[in-house]
Amino acid sequence: MSGGTELHCSSGVEVKNPDPVSKNLSNGNGNVNGNCQNGDAKSFKIFIGYDPREDLAYEVCRYSLLKRSSIPIEIFPIKQSELRQKGVYWRERGKLESTEFSFSRFLTPFLANYEGWAMFVDCDFLYLGDIKELVDMTDDKYAIMCVQHDYTPKETTKMDGAVQTVYPRKNWSSMVLYNCGHEKNRALTPDVVNKETGAFLHRFQWLEDDEIGEVPFVWNFLVGHNKVVEGDQSTYPKAIHYTLGGPWFEQWKDCEFGDLWLNELEEYKKAAEKKVD
């Protein structure tokens, strides 16, 4: 199910589109623009980090976005194997990279042809809100926008034993709205993404601080860190981030908000079965 790219129109129509890397190589740029079948509404591009160990996480994240979106969206999995095959990504995997998309995520502006706004998000998210609300927050004066967490994890490991690293701006890069047409983001070429350090990329060091806009924390609600305040709607999560590990891993079946993810998984499975029928 995870190999194709889906376009979801507000009318509920879904159509298949080519993967962004193939388009990038065929036309000499990163163009992944797509439209609804009527050709009127331009879709918002979303790139989800993909890791084979977390295929179900990717599918549920994608399903939750499609299910609740009131605007046309295109979803592309960022698969390292495909990027390598196309010659877009070639850096060796480091010991501290907990997922296959630790660095390939920063190819988002390139894959979007350095045009318009697009979003990157880790696969371990569950969206509870309409992505239109997030798109409506975009402000062209910023190069990127994200939740600016003040987060230092206490755990030394996460997911299925992966090392938990600690660094400034931790988790800022896990969900980013990219102003792909911003001049500064043209610095994120494949050459730069393949050679620059983790500090340069994850701390957004190609940007000035005032070029980074802020998004409410509820759009990157860190399980185990952020808290819901009863009666305060502004603290209710719009997108849950299972940053330490989610219910798709056996040892995290009972994590906070795990029941919401498992319910979404069942819905996704039923929807997938209907498509097959």
pLDDT digits over 27-84, tens only?
Answer: 333 334 333 433 345 899 999 999 999 999 999 999 999 999 999 999 999 999 999 9
Least confident interval from 6-10, 62-66, 126-130, 216-220: 6-10
Q: Which amino acid is at 170?
A: K
Q: If you average pLDDT over residues 150-172, what whole number do you get? A: 61
If you count DSSP H runs as helices and E runs as strands, how many of each does the chain have, helices first? Answer: 8, 13
Q: Which amino acid is at 206?
A: W
Binned at pLDDT 50, 70 and 90, residue 12 comes out as: very low
Q: If you average pLDDT over residues 126-143, what whole number do you get? A: 98
Rounded CA-CA distance 161/98 in Å is 9
pLDDT of residue 42: 86
Rounded CA-CA distance 158/75 in Å is 26
Rounded CA-CA distance 104/108 in Å is 8
Average of per-residue pLDDT values in the chain: 85
Q: Do 58 and 48 form a contact (C-beta atoms < 8 A)?
A: yes
Helix ranges, the chain (H): 20-27, 55-68, 80-85, 108-111, 131-135, 190-195, 198-202, 258-276
pLDDT of residue 18: 46
Which domains, ranges and CATH numbers included, belong to the chain? Answer: 44-274 (3.90.550.10)
pLDDT tens-digit series, residues 177-219: 999 999 999 999 999 999 999 999 999 999 999 999 999 999 9
Q: If you average pLDDT over residues 236-250, what whole number do you get? A: 94
Residue with tokens 């490991």: 157
Between 14 and 234, the more confident residue is 234
Q: How many CB atoms lie within 10 A of CB 265?
A: 19
Q: Do 177 and 138 form a contact (C-beta atoms < 8 A)?
A: yes
